Structure 1
Amino acid sequence: MIPKGIVIGNRRLPDTPGVYLMKNAAGAILYIGQAGNLKRRVTSYFTRPQDERLERFVREIRRIDYRRTDTALEALILEAQLIKKFSPPWNVREKDDKSFLYVELTDEKFPRVLLARGRDEPHGARFGPFTAAASIREALRILRRIFPWSTHTPEQIERSSKPCFEYELGLCPGTCANRITKQEYLKNIKNIRLILEGKKKKTIAALTQEMRSASRRLEFEKAGTLRRQLFALQHIQDVALLTDSQPTPPRAKKGLPAAHFRIEGFDISNIFGASAVGSMVVFTDGEPDKREYRKFRIKTVHGAHDIAMLKEVFRRRFGHRPRTGGWPLPQLILVDGGAGQVNAAHTTLRAYQLRIPVVGIAKGSDRKKNEVFGKIPRGVELRTLVRVRDEAHRFAVRYHKTVRGRMFIDSRSMIQ
């Protein structure tokens, strides 16, 4: 529940896509975020366990305003526009930060639609910043299915008699093989530009007028293409953009990276206790964050005691906490295993006075299905947790093989 002391714009939050603006007592904007479900996203800030830094942020909030949008895609674009306009302190990591993603329409005869970092030299019009890389990439995939664009460099344009593979998929309009005129291609780019400017209604109006004109001229094939674009634009299925179940505002401290919903996955790998290692993988907003992966060589456990090994890994991991300048805390812990592994995690968390949800996923007795131990937090998908489990297992096995290989080489050296 949202505390009573916080004022909600229009008194209640809707179950619809949109952008929310969190403000302090003076009315200054602290943070701007987007959601596929405003009520669920905003409420989660006050119902999920947070670390000290985020608790301080939540205590500052005194008012929450919002703006509705028709789709999560439009919410993503509106969020970028508002962040650029207001530069809220909990969105912007450093005032000169150049690591956010931007969408760039290149300055070329047949413009390309690219993703670029703020630090990169611009080569055309830019839109952004976009703070969620996975979301903007998915947004572009959705838009390209409606308005195909070319990824070919100027040197590759009109150089082939045969269209590329993306043309067969309906993603490239055929610039590579001279299948589209410059005039028609630029219409697609104009529509993409309008959408990135938050002008979807203007795009729909222009497409409707062009479709009617094509029908009057008896250009039925063109009218059919425009009708399909209109329908797709009005019925965007942007479920993949809904990261609203995984909120956490970025770090406000200068120089630190943004933190979103962080899942840490753990696994142990050994052969009858030999060459024992542990792994920690990190998924941020549902995607692997390999820079945050960690490996542990088991030091205190001898013999095949996987749960004791897991406890050692947890003790060493949670010895690196934010308050000591260490690793950020996760919003969810996933272990490869059952009740024993989940209990091992809870035991360690209690010792460190931490309250973080723990879920275990074990392959069933027939090794053909996944058995879940613990309660999966609302909004987190099982398929994401399975991916985390499988990645933790892969990473642990890989490290175990490396350690075992070194031991084998060392043993041969001793024999010789």
Structure 2
Amino acid sequence: MALEHGNTFFDHKHFLKSLTRLPGVYRMMAGDGSVLYVGKAKDLKRRVSSYFTRAQNRRIQLMVAKIQGIEVTVTHTEAEALILENNLIKSLKPKYNILLRDDKSYPYIYLSADEFPRLAYHRGKRKAKGRFFGPYPNAGSMRETLQLLQKLFPVRQCDDSFYSNRSRPCLQYQIKRCSAPCVGFISEEAYAEDVKDAVLFLEGRTAEVIDGLVARMEKASSVLAFEQAARLRDQIAALSRIQEKQYITGERGDLDIIACSQKGGSTCIQLFLIRHGRNLGNKAFFPNTAGVDNEGEILSAFITQYYLGKQIPAEIIVSHPPDDRALLEEVLSLEAGRQVNVRQKVRANRAQWLRMAMQNAMLALDAKLASKAGMRDRLEALQRGLNLDDTPSRMECFDISHTSGELTVASCVVFDSNGPLKTDYRRFNIEGIQGGDDYAAMTQALTRRYTRIQSGEGVLPDILFIDGGKGQLHAAANVLEELAIVGVLLVGVAKGPDRRAGMEQLFLLGEDLPIILPADSPALHLIQQIRDEAHRFAITGHRQRRNKSRKTSVLEQISGIGAKRRQGLLKHFGGIQGIARAGIIDLERVEGISRTLAEQIYAAFHEE
């Protein structure tokens, strides 16, 4: 079912009148016939209607404004719609869908079905006779496993043409990485024993391998074959070390751990693969989220695009609850031919693995944001977005943090062409202003910062970002004018109407209307990263100042209480609250606190 698309106005009311309520897939079409967005629905009419009747975020508003037609495909079930949606997203790559860029096939370890089987790297369709183990998250982790197998079990890894034309053993035999079946140095039965052990290892049944090797070692010792027994002993020791390193405590099945992290307008999904209880490694993905900042929606799209058509584990642990979890479990179970569970609330060891995956996602995202290539692209996009003559080489951003107007701290973060320049970060404890007056706080911080720079203590930035709208922008402009600073572009970064990431408004001095960059703009992502870093640095400074004030302000006012006695009191009573509750006799028990000092401390905490 479709509506003709062209350059005419799209009459959605007329279209919706005849739209079915059956499940299916819809495609939003642009005037040139390209697909803007592909979605699924349990009830097509209700889902498509929502785009035109509900308040939507700016990303959806932009998309809806471009719609010139909608095409739908009816399916029997919602699960069938999800599968079709996934296929269409992969083939059409619509602009407003979340897209998983990395859609390559993943590597496996292949064990051939030959008389003397070989272990080999395999990527692609698994049609050859034999067994496949994996998938591995990347070629590096797969190669590492092959190298381990070479050390533990001397099963050949050479290709068949090399194997068939040998008249003498190769170097792999010399370094004890192969038993040379090519020249008959090992019997078929003995070789089959090594292959069996390798398979058990790949299946995660290392304990069985070790038990078998122990039995063979004891048998060799009993018949005085000490050289063979020593080789088996070393093999057992190596397997035990690997088991400690690679195996997940208490886990013997297949599961994946997926964590999603967002920062500076970018998203990282970290995937850990556990097969037969073995940690096969991890892989970072950086999907194009088309401005979507909901982790559940992103994870739902990732799981669908990544797993359909691939091997699916029995369990998937996620950092955020994905949208339509029940539907995902239904479709994945149908695809796998068995029950597949998607879980977010986990405990004990699994909670630790999830935290580990989350930490890896954040670290990978930080590394990507700090990469020179990514930074260069963002700076060039910023130059275009703000219509600058040159690419900016130095940027600063200020932010203010306080609690109900008290203990205000201003932060200044600096970015250059390589990313954050943390050695140039500065914090300013704001004093002498009315609590909560962010304009006055911003004025004081900027004055202190740029007075020093004008006196030769630093370098002026090309762009000065201020976290806020026109009010903060004019406060900053007054400071620069007072200090006779020219050539610095002032940009106010306001959150936008509903304070959602991706909807920021950029105010330039003297311009009435803000600049609004697309949600997927690399320039906007850079500005978000700089703004978020200034916010983090300000909050950290404010918390440190607040904690210091709470811990030491009262004690520092008491004559005779120096740093050593303060530390002793805090340690003895576990903090300032414990000291406040303590009596005079309790205070006397602390080393270095006399009766007189104890009375002074008690009075300081209990005077009206």
TM-score of the superposed pair, with normalisation by structure 1: 0.41
The higher-RCO structure (CA 8 Å, 6+ apart) is 1
For normalisation by structure 2, the TM-score amounts to: 0.30
Of structures 1 and 2, the larger Rg is shown by 2
